[in-house]
């Protein structure tokens, strides 16, 4: 069977997505980025280069709060850049944390964003500071390459060390996959890691040969996301990602991983050919086979993914077009051996474990609630300063969670009293009093920096939660864990379509409301209300919440309840996502 990539490489004329031509002409992601950085006449880069800088971990943005005023004054938009730092498995050292804090204050908007995929993000970096910021990031033995773009991005991993031996194996798998699937182009080093004379500064491994042995010059058709889960926790939301590995533990040892493929959240309003999809379990592999299996899954998607229509280019559509059996057969053909049958496992939740835990070695770990992952200093909540002071005395590590929160891990018995005191001094212990709804909430950045956002998200969700908490308290549900998520557009960065309650921006002040996602991320939700005004959300959901409080069965999750009571139809297949909608 001729692959789509074969056709693309041949003389056959194809109508391909514009990005494919940009990648082909880029000389392995160089483009004219260096020239653009030197151009002091504008705060922006060339349009094609802004597609290439994504592969380097950078998005060009502008402050949308200022657009009208700047347009009125005949000024160009207030351009700045978002920089995303890869943190495989979310684990970083105290020294790296201190440096991320410094960069946020020196070059960004004095805030640090913990993302839904265990990465750091800096917002508000102006073009003249881009190179120094990325250089400094690499000096900490971290990087930004492949944090965005049509490649395998940051590899996520369950960060909780209560199964310390299993976590070590899972974390190694995440790191090994990340290392193996990192692009090999020299462009990253040439652009960002050279001094004023153009001489290269060796920081990370510089590939010796100018080629992309895995990706080729066209890279992948679209972004590719990989995660590693350790049951019973599905905090990484494995079903929402292109590729996943579920640790199978027998007699306290990780004997291998079930392999999942085909998940993805993004869709487009008004286009029912686009939809979120849950990943499916494809088979089982041993720990020694993980990297090879990951590579071959990527190669099959590279060769057969759609390069003509970007809205149809994710792995989820490749699998829906050909079928899981076909896809598994292709992966096994590339491997040269068969995957084993999947083994039993059970997920119980996809939330974080807040507060203190202690491991068998006697070390302690504390998970902190960081609302929507945004760290900053305010008069009431000097969180950045507090975490900086903790990093100065902590000898363990920091772990970014997949739910945008933070674990301070491997705290020795001697250190625990000091860190407890610092948490209290800087009011970082707020998670102990937050509602179950707030502790299970998540929002993307959205306005004012995201160019795709149709409505507020990070800046609005906290206020909406306060409104809903009034109802929950009156119903006796303040401590009940209900997953609730918000995104400013349908691309789904906060993984809304598997939440029990979700809001997806439709227009300024208007949201599609979804209900019925699985409590541990195992089921898609269903549209409940189209284009609901923000001020009407509380009234829309209050009767449903009160019904749940009065009539739920023992142990019944909110998402299960709304399906049983007929508020929404059950959705398990992506292709059924838009079916059976009844507006309320």
d(CA 50, CA 52): 5
d(CA 86, CA 178): 9
| Residue among 156, 134, 157, 26 nearest 84 (CA) | 134
How would you classify residue 544: left for phi > 0, otherwise alpha for psi between -120 and 50, otherwise beta?
alpha
- Taken in order 553, 540, 447, 48, the sign of the CA dihedral is positive
From 23, 54, 84, 529, the catalytic residue: 84
Verify whether residue 444 is a known catalytic residue: yes
pLDDT at 204: 45
Pairing of strands 120-125, 79-85: antiparallel
d(CA 503, CA 67): 25
Verify whether residue 84 is a known catalytic residue: yes
Q: CB 441: neighbour CB atoms within 10 A?
A: 27
Tokens matching residue 262: 């085909």
First and final C-alpha spacing in the chain:
48
Residue in the structure block whose two tokens are 């992309």: 212
Verify whether residue 493 is a known catalytic residue: yes
d(CA 154, CA 114): 13
405 HSE (CA, 13 A, CB side): 29
From 113, 127, 225, 495, the catalytic residue: 225
d(CA 313, CA 305): 6
- Neighbour order of strands in the sheet with 226-229: 156-157, 226-229, 243-250, 253-261, 280-285
Verify whether residue 277 is a known catalytic residue: no
| Residue among 577, 553, 580 nearest 271 (CA) | 577
pLDDT at 572: 81
| Residue among 377, 370, 437 nearest 406 (CA) | 370
Confirm if 248 and 255 have CB atoms less than 8 A apart: yes
Q: How does pLDDT run across 303-315, given as a tens digit for each residue?
A: 999 999 999 999 9
User: What one-character DSSP code corresponds to residue 240?
Assistant: G
Residues whose CB is less than 8 angstroms from the CB of residue 490 and which lie 6 or more positions away in sequence, other chains included: 266, 267, 268, 269, 504, 505, 512
Overall size of the chain counted in residues = 584
Angle (CA) 423 374 466, round 5°: 85
Verify whether residue 532 is a known catalytic residue: no
Verify whether residue 153 is a known catalytic residue: yes
From 92, 148, 157, 444, the catalytic residue: 444
From 148, 157, 450, 532, the catalytic residue: 450
From 54, 153, 222, 296, the catalytic residue: 153
Q: How does pLDDT run across 163-184, given as a tens digit for each residue?
A: 678 899 999 999 999 999 999 9
pLDDT at 556: 98
From 117, 127, 223, 328, the catalytic residue: 223
Verify whether residue 450 is a known catalytic residue: yes
From 314, 493, 495, 526, the catalytic residue: 493
Residues of the chain with CATH 3.30.413.10: 437-576
Residues whose CB is less than 8 angstroms from the CB of residue 381 and which lie 6 or more positions away in sequence, other chains included: 427, 430
d(CA 543, CA 562): 11
Rounded to two decimals, what is the model's pTM?
Answer: 0.95
Verify whether residue 285 is a known catalytic residue: no
d(CA 298, CA 242): 9
d(CA 106, CA 100): 10
Residue 356, beta-bridge partner list:
366
| Residue among 188, 184, 339, 200 nearest 260 (CA) | 339
Residue 375, beta-bridge partner list:
112
Alpha carbon of residue 292 to chain centroid: 23
Pairing of strands 156-157, 226-229: parallel
From 92, 285, 431, 489, the catalytic residue: 489
CATH superfamily of 437-576: Sulfite Reductase Hemoprotein, domain 1 (3.30.413.10)
Confirm if 79 and 60 have CB atoms less than 8 A apart: yes
- 11, 258, 267, 314, 361 from 319: Cα distances, Å: 27, 18, 16, 9, 44
Tokens matching residue 30: 């160089």
Angle (CA) 427 429 433, round 5°: 110
Low-confidence ranges of the chain (pLDDT < 50): 198, 201-207, 209
Cα maximum dimension of the chain = 71
């Amino acid at each position: 069977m001729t692959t789509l990539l074969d056709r693309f490489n041949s003389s056959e004329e194809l109508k391909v997505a514009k990005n494919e031509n940009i990648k082909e002409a880029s000389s392995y992601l160089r483009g004219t980025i260096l020239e653009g950085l030197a151009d002091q006449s504008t705060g922006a880069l060339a349009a094609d280069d802004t597609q290439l800088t994504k592969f380097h971990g950078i998005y060009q943005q502008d402050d949308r709060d200022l657009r009208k005023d700047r347009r009125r004054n005949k000024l160009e938009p207030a351009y700045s850049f978002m920089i995303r730092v890869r943190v495989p498995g979310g684990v970083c050292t105290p020294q790296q944390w201190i440096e991320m804090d410094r960069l946020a204050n020196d070059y960004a908007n004095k805030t640090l964003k913990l993302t839904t995929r265990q990465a750091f993000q800096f917002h508000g970096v102006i073009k003249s500071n881009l190179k120094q910021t990325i250089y400094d990031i690499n000096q900490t033995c971290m990087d930004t390459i492949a944090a965005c773009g049509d490649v395998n991005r940051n590899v996520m991993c369950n960060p909780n060390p209560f199964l310390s031996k299993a976590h070590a194996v899972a974390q190694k798998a995440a790191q090994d996959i990340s290392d193996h699937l990192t692009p090999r182009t020299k462009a990253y080093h040439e652009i960002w890691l050279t001094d004023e004379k153009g001489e290269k500064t060796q920081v990370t491994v510089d590939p010796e040969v100018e080629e992309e042995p895995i990706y080729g010059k066209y890279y992948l058709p679209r972004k590719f996301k990989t995660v590693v889960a350790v049951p019973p926790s599905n905090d990484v939301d494995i079903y929402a990602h292109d590729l996943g590995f579920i640790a199978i533990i027998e007699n306290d040892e990780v004997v291998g991983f079930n392999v999942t493929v085909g998940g993805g959240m993004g869709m487009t309003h008004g286009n029912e050919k686009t939809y979120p999809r849950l990943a499916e379990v494809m088979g089982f592999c041993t720990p020694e086979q993980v990297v090879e299996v990951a590579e071959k899954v990527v190669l099959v998607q590279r060769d057969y993914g759609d390069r003509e229509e970007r809205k149809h280019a994710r792995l989820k559509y490749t699998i829906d077009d050909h079928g899981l059996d076909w896809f598994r057969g292709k992966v096994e053909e590339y491997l040269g051996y068969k995957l084993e049958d999947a083994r039993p496992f059970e997920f119980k939740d996809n939330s974080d474990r807040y507060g203190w835990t202690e491991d068998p070695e006697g070390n302690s770990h504390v998970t902190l609630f960081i609302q929507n992952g945004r760290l900053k200093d305010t008069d009431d909540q000097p969180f950045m300063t507090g975490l900086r002071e903790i990093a100065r005395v902590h000898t363990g590590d920091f772990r970014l969670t997949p739910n945008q929160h933070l674990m301070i891990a491997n705290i020795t018995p001697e250190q625990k009293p000091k860190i407890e005191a610092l948490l209290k001094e800087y009011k970082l212990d707020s998670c102990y009093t937050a509602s179950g709804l707030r502790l299970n909430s998540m929002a993307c950045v959205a306005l004012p920096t995201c160019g795709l956002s149709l409505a507020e998200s990070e800046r609005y969700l906290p206020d909406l939660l306060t409104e809903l908490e009034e109802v929950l308290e009156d119903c006796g549900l303040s401590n009940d864990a209900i997953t609730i998520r918000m995104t400013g557009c349908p691309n789904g960065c906060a993984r809304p379509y598997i939440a029990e309650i979700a809001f997806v921006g439709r227009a300024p002040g208007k949201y599609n409301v979804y209900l019925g996602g699985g409590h541990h991320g195992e089921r898609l939700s269903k549209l409940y209300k189209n284009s609901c005004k923000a001020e009407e959300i509380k009234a829309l959901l209050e009767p449903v919440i009160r019904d749940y409080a009065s009539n739920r069965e023992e142990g019944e999750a909110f998402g299960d309840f709304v399906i049983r009571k007929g508020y929404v139809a059950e959705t398990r297949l992506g292709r059924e996502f838009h079916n059976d909608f009844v507006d309320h």
